[in-house]
Amino acid sequence: MKQFFSDFSKLIKFRLTFLVVFSASVTFLIGSKIQVDRAIIDEINWTNWLILIIGGFLVTGAANCFNEIIEVDLDKLMTRTKDRPMPAGRMTTGQGLVSGLVMGIAGTWLLGKLNLETGLISVFSILLYAFAYTPLKRKSPIAVFVGAIPGALPPLIGYLAAIGHSPVGYVPRDYQIAIILFLVQFVWQFPHFWSIAWVLDEDYSKAGFRLLPTKKRDKTSAVFTLASTLILIPVSLLPTFYGFGGYYIAGVSVVLGLLFSWYAYQLVVKMDLTSARKVMFCSFFYIPLVQLILLFDLVV
């Protein structure tokens, strides 16, 4: 049983899935709080919140499962992935396919119960991640751009799920807020992806993955990473600029953005793994903190 849970965790990439679901669940609460403040709804629908978490978990797990089926032979080559259940031989690709299909169908159905948009976006996310981003990883650094799209959809899904059943439906303001939440997570993914690619470049190269901007650890790739952290600062201020975020989120976004950029600048100067790891670990904390502070800003 212990091995089963360990394999299932590796199959769905539990830590990645958790981050995705966390992002969607927090933005659901953000959307619900905005609806309450507008006096459109009386209280947060916690049942829908739970449906979003379960559905989002299943859909994300399915996308990761399909990714591993496609890359099973490549995963055997990398130290980081060779102990996943399919490349290690503890699960067949047929079993993986059935698992992915069951999770994908069940997750899409649950998200579709919230509203049509979240169901359709979840299907789009699976297809783009598994069948566009995954094969592109060996062909071109443009894969990072493609992968950043499904990676930024969770806050969009979470926000739209919160307002899908409101009495007045969607209004232009809601789409504006949803797009801004998407943009923040979209831009964040570039330093996140590139710092991981820098740290794992040797392992990735065994499978032919070249996800850095110039396909190698050089000054240009480091500069691209720095530029993406600098772009993130003004983008993270959009919630305050458009009036649904306050001074707390603005202050935290600037401080975290400057810290993020400082670590990226150190990567440009030093060109070493230690600096890349600092950028990577900073990226892990950035999005959860920004989203939680935005929720806190709305609550207070």
Domain boundary among 152, 168, 184: 168
Whether residues 97 and 208 share a domain: the answer is no
DSSP class per residue in 138-190: TT-THHHHHHHHHHHHHHHHHHHHHHTT-TT---HHHHHHHHHHHHHHHHHHH
Whether residues 99 and 175 share a domain: the answer is no
Check residues 31 and 38 and name the one with the higher pLDDT: 31
Whether residues 107 and 93 share a domain: the answer is yes
Instruction: Using the predicted structure, report yes or no on whether residue 169 has a pLDDT greater than 70.
Output: no
Give CA–CA dist 133/21, Å, rounded. Answer: 20
Tokens of 4: 């089963």
Cα within 13 Å of Cα(129), Cβ side: 25
Whether residues 108 and 27 share a domain: the answer is yes
Whether residues 180 and 288 share a domain: the answer is yes
Domain boundary among 135, 168, 201: 168
Whether residues 235 and 296 share a domain: the answer is yes
Q: What is the pLDDT of residue 40?
A: 78
Whether residues 87 and 136 share a domain: the answer is yes
Q: What is the pLDDT of residue 59?
A: 95
For residue 61, what is the domain's CATH number? 1.10.357.140
Whether residues 31 and 160 share a domain: the answer is yes
Domain boundary among 131, 153, 168: 168
Whether residues 271 and 151 share a domain: the answer is no
Instruction: Using the predicted structure, report yes or no on whether residue 100 has a pLDDT greater than 90.
Output: yes
Whether residues 132 and 277 share a domain: the answer is no
Give CA–CA dist 257/136, Å, rounded. Answer: 29
CA nearest 49: which of 80, 76, 73, 27? 27
Domain span including residue 231? 171-300
- The percent of residues in the chain predicted with pLDDT above 70, rounded, is 97
Q: What is the pLDDT of residue 216?
A: 86
Mean pLDDT of 240-267: 94
Mean pLDDT of 75-81: 92
